[in-house]
Every structure is written in structure tokens, then in C-alpha cells.
Amino acid sequence: MPHHKKNTVQDNLLPPSESRRSAVDARIPAYAGTGTAAAPPPSGRRERAQWLATELERHNVLYHTLDSPEINDEHYDLLFRELVSLEQRFPELQTPWSPTLRVGGAPLENLEKDAHTQQMYSLDNVFSVEEWREFVERMRRAAPRISPAFWCDPKLDGLALELVYENGVLTKALTRGDGHTGEVVTATARAIRSVPLRLLGQSRFPMLLEVRGEVVIFKKDFVALNARQAAAGEKVFANPRNAAAGALRRLDTTGLLPLRFLAYSLGSVVWGNDPPCAFHHELMQRLAAWGFATPPAGKLCDCPQKVEDYARTAQHDRKGLPMETDGIVAKLDNFADQRRLGFTARAPRFAVAFKFPTEQVETLLTGIEVQVGRTGVLTPVALLRPVAVGGVIVSRATLHNEDEIRARDIRIGDSVIVRRAGDVIPKVIGPVLAKRPPEAKEFVFPRSCPACGESVARDPHETAWRCGNLSCPAVRRERIIHFVSKAGLDIQGIGRKWIEQLWDAGLVRSPADLFAMTVEELKHFERMGQKLADNFTQALDTAKNNATLTKLVNALGIRHVGEQTARTLAKNFRNLDELAAADTVVLQPLPDIGPEVAESVVNFFANPANKEEIARLRDLGISPQGDAEPHPAGQTHFLCGKSVLFTGTLSISRAHAQALAESAGAVAASGISKKLDCLIAGENPGGKLVKAQQLGVTILDEKAFMALVTKDV
Ligand code: IVH
């Protein structure tokens, strides 16, 4: 554990570091027996192990969250090794929050997936003060009585992570994944020192607490990491975000990169006996008190104008922050107002990312290439003299379409301005006319498909030229690439490069061909070998087993059918055959499906080549049942194995409520006692409620209970 001082940036709400530290000190769970930091440590085996675990965690918080270590690395390692050795000899001494769990085991083959109890949303962006004002206006129109105070903090350029705490103990960590389902990375998360293994504090913790935040690598750690990688002849990472992504998903937690977790919001929470937070600023204080590091320089701005000031200052100060940021996030402070505004399919209506102006550079446009996409659209791509912008080297950028090139008067040989923001695709803004050489050449858009030679057509209402050849090789290849991509079945380790090679070798002509390949066929393939061929087929098997109808429908790449529509279709049909048989009369009444989408779906399934492909996929074992989703409260639901008791009148029948609880894995209790995990109280609850309060049993009202068991994952 390297000891280096962090640059702390003070925020204006949390107490200054000394008083914050003593506030946290008071909450660091003290060892209950004799031998605190001051008194001599205990000598009994069990007491010693508990003392070591408590002390080590205290030092973790002091070092990683509070920036004020009390002991050096050697001392820490000594205590750590003693605890490891004790736990190895007496495994019953290992608690679920033991700091020894922070060291991971061997790398895992494949990451398990699990559903988020609440969707992990993305954020909408605004790029200017004007757009920010429009966002506020929209919010005011939607909910005129909201109070326009915002919690602001920097937008961290890392990876979103959700940590699940049950009664204060970390039990699971999930990546964002597609927002609905994430990858289980509990072991990696435990190895991140700034992730509390149990919450600080002595009071009762929320029964369920999902803390969301960002995994980042500090800039200085990134520089050191790349220096080490280079010295060892290993891959150098393009930016901290890529390095963090690799580390988090790699699962080889031994020698883990210097990842850090910064908490900024919540997923599901059942407060139990802990008083709920009503404001975002209150939540940030609570997160810090529980032992989480939070984004630096967070601030409560009591009006939209102050958010503009905050954004300006943040942009000015960004170089001084320890981590990469690409903007600020402004979130409505009042949780009741947040609930009032709710979410779109993609993002909250109560929060927005206010992006810093993007980086622009100048470089040479050496040529223009035309690519054919999976829908047959021809896209011109700028070939650039390689240049660094926004943290990566860019040598290609989109030029969108023929009209764009003409409108901006972009010519081959021009010096052009290229812009890139965050992970957005680089874009050519326009030429530097003053530098145009006399030989600069206008680009003539091709009238035939560069892949198949068929003539291309342009719909009068569209800007794009399109190749309409159903068997155009480029279209077919791009469709396979889409099929294996994250938007499709998300087949690990198989991406554009491999598909292009397999395609060029003539081995694969459709997604079904991929699944039909054997290790024998694969291993003799160029640059493949036994190990990679094994991984390959294993990844295909995993994808096959994990395929849901939503993913498969999305993977097929039906025109106008994106993720959201795929989800709607999967909710309404039991399998692909049923969907294939649906006509527009059945499809059109479904949410988000208009005449154009309905017709596109019907056409897709009427096409004989598509029919054949679907039949082949079915024969290969890819025929997922409709996502009449497994009950959201699956095996890992926090009610699983808990005893519950109902009292008072609920708006649904007691039998129905009981059934919901049981399908979440709960067990019905016969009466009230200290052993009861949870009392669900309806209207006019009476004596049981009082008794439960006296015994300190967790109490849920009907709304909280229903939210928990009927969540739409
Ligand atoms: S709050 C309801 N605060 O950026 C979503 N998100 O590009 C509330 N992010 O999905 C999220 N820094 O993963 C929040 N200070 C910050 C953030 C932040 C980075 C991530 C987050 C979000 C993504 C959108």
C-alpha cells in the first residue's frame, strides 16, 4: 500500500478536515474489548483477530478517505500479515468485513451478471450556459413548484459502480453494464481500499443501501502506472479511464491498479431505523460519515445562476484536481422534487452534466474513406494525420454525410479543426481556409457502394446515401459485428477485429456461423491457437446461455429497433417465433412502437434470409424465452431468507402480499420477537407496530415494501 499524500480539495459543506476527521473518528467502530489504539492490544486469539480487523480498517479509513495516516506501510503490513495468518489457521475468525478480503484471488474466467434493483441511468449533457438555462426552464415547466437549489460536483471520468450494503456490510458490487444488468465485481471492489467493507458508525444501518459512485484512477497514479507498464514492456494505457475499466473488469485483483471509489448517489435504499435523507447535500454528508470518499469540491448552489458560477470555477480549477474531470454534474437538491421529475428512458430529468468546452486541435486531412454501416448507410470518414486530442490519439473522424462535407467546404489536403469531448467520437469541425493549399481537392461522393459495387440511392427526405443490396458483404459483416457487440449479445473478447478476420477468411457469413464453429476449426486460424480458441468458444457459450430476448432482438439489428424497443418487444412476446408471427395490428399498440417501427419489424421477419438465420440460431440453442423477467427479487434479493410479518390493512390482500414476499425469498414469521427481521405495516397497524419499535425491528410501510418486491428491472 503506497503512502502518498493526496491533494485534498475542500468542499464547503463538510466540516474542515480536522473536525471531519474527529467526527469520523467518533464513528470508527472501536474494538469492543480492551486494547484500543491507545491501550495494549489483546492477546486471546479471537480478541486479537477482532482487534486487528478493526485497527486495520481504521487505518484504511485514515489513509484512504481522510488523508491522515497514523502508521507507515511496514507497520500496516505487519498487522495485516498477522491477521492473514490467524485467519488461515482459524477460518472461523474471518468476519465478512475482514480487511483480508481486500486481497483478491486468482483471475476469474467470466464475470457473472446480475440485475440492478433500480436502473443505473446515464446523464443528459448541456454544453453551454444557454443549454443549461433551457434545461432549468424545462424542469420548471414540468414541475413549477420545485425549489431550484442544486448540489454540484465535478463529473468524474471513470466507471460507474454500485455497492450493495446489507445491514451495513458490503455484500455485492455491480458495474453499470447496460443500466439494467451489470457485472458482478465484488472481489475487485473489496480490493479497492476506499471501498468500506462495512459502514462506519454505531447506529443501526439501512437494511439495504445501494451506493453508487465512480471508480477512478488519480492522475499521478496513472502516470506512475504507465511508467511501470512501460518499464515492464507491458501495454501503456491511453487514459486513466481505460486503465480503470480494464482493472475493474479483469478481476485479477492481485496487484490491482490504484483504483479509488468516490460515492455520489444511491440506488435502492430501505432506511429501516436510520432516518432517511431528504436532500442531496445531506446524503453527501451521510456518505462521508459512513466512510465513503466523495467527489472533491462538492457544493450546494441555491439558484441556477450559482451553478453557472460553479461550472466556470470548476473549469478553471480542473487541472488542480487529482483526477480527470470533463464537466460538472448539477443535481436538484431536494429528493422530493427529484421524485416529482423522475426519469426518461435514459436519464434523470432532475440532473444534468454540464460539460466543459471540448478540446480542439488542428491537423491535416489526408483523405476521405467511405464506410458502409450495418443499415447500408454510407458514411464518409476523415483520414487524419494522427494527433492527440482529449487524451487519445485520433487518426480518423466522422464527416457525417455528403451535405456536411459540402456545407463546411472540407477538401482533401486541408488543415482541419478536430474536436473530441470525453468518450464522444471525434468530429471534424471545419477547414482552416487561410491554410488551404492550391492542390486541395474537392471530394466526390461515390454513386456506387464501395463494398459491393451496386449503385447507391438517396431518399429525398434523408441526408444519407444507402446501399440497398441485401447481400452486400459490408452490410452483412457490420451486422455480425453489431451482433457480438455490447449493444448485441456482448460476446466477450470477440469484436470488430476478429469478425473482420473471420469474414475475410470466408469462415463466417452470419452470426449463426460463429456459433457453429468448433475449437478444431478455430485453433488453426491465424493468431489463434488452442487457448484463444477455447476462450472464444467459451465466450460464445456464455453469451448463448446469457442471451435474453431483449438482447437477441437488439442484436438482430432490425431497423428502428434499439434497446428500448427491444425491451418492449421482449416484454410482450414469449419468444422470437411469437414475435416473428406478429403483424402490425398487434405491434402498433405497444408502447413506443409507431407505424414505421411496426412495419420494419414485420418486414424483417418476412425476409426469407432472416427467417433462415433465426431457424439456424434456434437449432444452435439460441432461443431465449421472453423476458417475462425472472422476478426482480431473485435469489440475491435482500429479503431472501429474512423473516417478515405483516400487520394492519394493506391495499392488496394479505395473501397477495405474502406471496410477493415469498417470491422474493422471504419467510413468513408467526409472531413478533427480537428475531423478526422485518415488520410490514399497513394502515391502522396497532400493537405489533409498537412492539416492533420497542424491539428495534426494521419496519417498512406498504410503499417501501411494494417498491422493493415489484421493482421493474
Ligand atoms: S450523479 C441519476 N455525479 O457520469 C444519475 N454522476 O455520463 C446521477 N458521473 O451516469 C449520477 N461523475 O455514472 C453523478 N459527480 C457525479 C458524476 C457522475 C460522473 C457519471 C455517472 C453518470 C455518468 C453519465
Supply φ then ψ for residue 465, to 5 degrees.
-85, 145
C-alpha–C-alpha distance, residues 291 and 294, integer Å: 9
211 vs 233, more confident = 211
Q: How many helices (H) and strands (E) does the chain have?
A: 25, 22
- Give the helix ranges, DSSP H, for 427-510: 473-484, 496-504
Task: Assign residue 216 the CATH number of its domain.
Answer: 3.30.470.30
Band of residue 634 on the pLDDT scale cut at 50, 70, 90: very low
**CATH code for the domain in which residue 428 is found:** 2.40.50.140
211 ligand 1 Cβ < 6 A:
no
| Residue 665, domain extent | 643-709
Separation of alpha carbons 455 and 133, rounded Å: 47
Mutation probe of ligand 1 site: the residue of 118, 318, 329, 352 with most atoms within 8 A of C-beta: 329
Tallying the residues shown for the chain, one arrives at: 713
- Ligand 1 contacts CB of residue 295 (under 6 A): yes
What is the 13 CA–ligand 1 centroid distance (Å)?
Answer: 20
Residue whose Cα lies nearest atom 22 of ligand 1: it is 122
H or E segment to which residue 4 belongs:
none
Which three cell numbers mark 38?
491507545
Ligand 1 centroid – CA 640 distance (Å): 30
CB of 299 closer than 6 angstroms to any ligand 1 atom: no
Higher pLDDT, 699 or 465: 465
Residues making up the annotated binding site for NAD(+) are: 73-77, 122-123, 153, 176, 214, 331, 355
- 495 domain-assigned: yes
CATH of the domain at 504: 1.10.150.20
Q: How far apart are CA 43 and CA 262, in angstroms?
A: 37
Q: Are strands 150-156 and 325-332 parallel, antiparallel or unpaired?
A: antiparallel
- Asked whether residue 1 is domain-assigned, the answer is no
**Does 210 share its domain with 346?**
yes
CB of residue 123 inside a 6 A radius of ligand 1: yes
Kindly give the distance from the C-alpha atom of residue 290 to the centroid of ligand 1, in angstroms, as a whole number.
20
Task: Please provide the average confidence, as pLDDT, over all residues in the chain.
Answer: 84
Could you read off the pLDDT of 404-447 as tens digits, one per residue? 999 999 999 999 999 875 556 788 989 999 999 999 999 999 99
Q: Is residue 2 part of a domain?
A: no
**Ligand 1 pocket, 122 CB below 6 A?**
yes
CB of 507 closer than 8 Å to CB of 501? no
Cα–Cα separations (whole angstroms), residue 398 to 198, 381, 420, 425, 429? 47, 5, 11, 8, 10
d(CA 249, CA 233): 22
| Most confident stretch, 63-72, 371-380, 630-639 | 371-380
Among residues 76, 102, 128, which one ends one of the domains? 102
Specify whether 394 is located in the same domain as 525.
no
CA of 564 to the centre of ligand 1 (A): 21
In a 3-state reduction of DSSP, which class is residue 225? helix
Q: How do residues 164-206 score in pLDDT, each as one tens digit? A: 999 899 999 999 988 888 889 898 889 888 999 999 886 678 9
The DSSP bridge partners found for residue 103 are: none
448 beta partners: 455
CA pair distance 372, 467, nearest whole angstrom: 8
Which cell numbers in the block locate residue 597? Answer: 417501427
Give which of 250, 249, 278 is closest to 266, Cα–Cα. Answer: 278
pLDDT at 10: 33
Q: Are residues 486 and 425 in the same domain?
A: no
Res. 250 pLDDT band, cuts 50 70 90: low
Distances (CA, A) of 236 to 2, 66, 245, 253: 21, 31, 14, 19
149 lies in the same domain as 288:
yes
Ligand 1 atom closest to residue 176's alpha carbon, by position in its atom list: 13
Residue nearest to atom 15 of ligand 1 (CA): 155
Ligand 1 within 6 A of CB of 327: no
Q: Are residues 535 and 659 in the same domain?
A: no
Q: Which helix (H) or strand (E) holds 644?
A: strand 643-647
Q: Where are the alpha helices (DSSP H) in 375-472?
A: 402-407
Q: Is 182 in the pocket of ligand 1 (CB under 6 A)?
A: no
Q: What are phi and psi of 665, to 5 degrees?
A: 95, 5
Among 12-16, 211-215, 376-380, 673-677, the range scoring the smallest mean pLDDT is: 12-16
Report the range of poorest mean pLDDT among 266-275, 364-373, 439-448.
266-275
Q: Ligand 1 mean position to 265 CA, how many Å?
A: 8
* Pocket residue to mutate for ligand 1, from 261, 264, 265, most atoms within 8 A of Cβ: 264
Q: Is the CB of 226 under 6 A from ligand 1?
A: no
Cell of 18: 480536522
**Over 90: is that where the pLDDT of 636 sits?**
no
Distance from residue 332's CA to the centre of ligand 1 (Å): 13
pLDDT for 482 = 96
Q: How far is the CA of 710 from the centre of ligand 1 (A)?
A: 26
Q: How many domains does the chain have?
A: 6
The angle subtended at Cα 215 by Cα 342 and Cα 274, nearest 5°, is 55
Cell of 610: 432472416
Task: Summarize pLDDT for 88-98 with one digit per residue, the tens.
Answer: 888 888 887 88
| Ligand 1 site-directed mutation target among 122, 176, 214, most atoms within 8 Å of CB | 214
CA neighbours within 13 Å on the CB side: how many for 99?
25
What confidence score (pLDDT) does residue 31 get?
57
User: How far, in Å, from the CA of 61 to the mean position of ligand 1?
Assistant: 24
pLDDT of residue 631: 38
Q: Does residue 121's CB lie within 6 angstroms of at least one atom of ligand 1?
A: yes
Asked if residue 631 is part of any domain, the answer here is no
Instruction: Report the amino acid identity of residue 54.
Output: T
Q: Looking at the domain assignment, is residue 169 inside a domain?
A: yes
Residue that the C-alpha cell 443501526 belongs to: 204
pLDDT band at 1 (very low <50, low <70, confident <90, very high): very low
Binding site, residues?
A: 73-77, 122-123, 153, 176, 214, 331, 355, 449, 452, 467, 472
C-alpha cell at 248: 475493474
Cα(404)–Cα(690) distance, rounded to whole angstroms? 70
Whether 16 has a pLDDT exceeding 50, the answer reads no
- Is pLDDT at 549 greater than 80 in this prediction? yes
The pLDDT of residue 108 is above 60: no
Distances (CA, A) of 405 to 179, 368, 612: 36, 10, 40
Whole-angstrom distance, CA of residue 662 vs CA of residue 136: 44
Ligand 1 within 6 A of 160 CB? Answer: yes
Please give the distance, rounded to the nearest whole angstrom, from the Cα atom of residue 215 to the centre of ligand 1: 11
Q: Are 364 and 351 in the same domain?
A: no
The DSSP code sequence of 29-93 is ---SSS--SSSPPP-SHHHHHHHHHHHHHHHHIIIIITS--SS-HHHHHHHHHHHHHHHHH-GGG
Is residue 630 in a domain?
A: no
Q: If residue 361 lies in a helix (H) or strand (E), which one and from where to where? A: strand 359-372
> Is any ligand 1 atom within 6 A of the Cβ of residue 189?
no
CA atoms of 551 and 554, how far apart (whole Å): 5
Tell me if 420 CB under 6 Å of ligand 1: no
pLDDT beyond 60 at 23: no
pLDDT at position 457 is 94
Q: Quick one: which atom of ligand 1 is closest to the CA of 159? A: 13
Q: Is 703 annotated in the active site?
A: no
**Given a cut of 90, is residue 383 above it in pLDDT?**
yes
What pLDDT sits at residue 248?
73
Closest CA to ligand 1's atom 13: 160
- Give the closest residue (by CA) to ligand 1 atom 5: 121
Whether residue 155 has its Cβ less than 6 Å from ligand 1: yes
Region 198-224: mean pLDDT is: 89
Considering the candidates 5, 6, 113, 155, report the single residue annotated as catalytic.
155
Does residue 324 or residue 330 have the better pLDDT?
A: 330
Q: Are 447 and 456 in contact (CB under 8 A)?
A: yes
- Whether the pLDDT of residue 106 is over 60: the answer is no
CATH of the domain at 652: 3.40.50.10190
Q: Is the CB of 472 under 6 A from ligand 1?
A: no
**3-state class (DSSP) for residue 702:** helix
Rounded to whole angstroms, the Cα distance separating 525 from 548 reads 30
Q: Are residues 183 and 286 in the same domain?
A: yes
Say whether both 683 and 569 belong to one domain: no
Within 13 Å of residue 365, how many CA atoms lie on the same side as its CB? 35
Give the closest residue (by CA) to ligand 1 atom 11: 265
Tell me, yes or no, whether 166 and 250 share the same domain: yes
Question: Are residues 342 and 371 located together in one domain of the fold?
Answer: no
From 587, 619, 651, give the residue that closes a domain: 619
Q: Is 214 in the pocket of ligand 1 (CB under 6 A)?
A: yes
Q: Is the pLDDT of residue 529 over 80?
A: yes
The reply to whether 151 falls in a domain is yes
Which band of pLDDT confidence, cut at 50, 70 and 90, is reported for residue 9? very low
Question: Has residue 636 been placed in a domain?
Answer: no
Residue 98's CATH number: 1.10.287.610
Which amino acid appears at position 625 of this protein? Q
Q: Do 156 and 295 belong together in one domain?
A: yes
Give residue 345 CA to ligand 1 midpoint distance, Å: 16
Cβ-proximal residues to 321 (8 Å cutoff; 6+ apart), any chain:
7, 9, 154, 296, 297
112: pLDDT strictly greater than 80:
yes
Residues 159 and 238 in one domain: yes
Distance 155 CA to ligand 1 centre (A): 6
Integer Cα distance of 240 and 217 in angstroms: 6
Cell triple for residue 82? Answer: 498477522
Q: Which atom of ligand 1 is nearest to the CA of 125?
A: 7
Pairing relation of β-strands 698-701 and 678-681? parallel
Decide whether any atom of ligand 1 lies within 6 Å of the 351 Cβ: yes
**Annotated binding-site ranges for Zn(2+):** 449, 452, 467, 472
Q: Looking at the CA of residue 154, tell me the nearest atom of ligand 1.
A: 15
Pocket test for ligand 1, best of 118, 124, 151, 156 (most atoms within 8 A of CB): 156
Of 511, 546, 581, the one marking the end of a domain is 546
- Helix ranges (DSSP H) in 143-268: 186-191, 219-231, 240-250
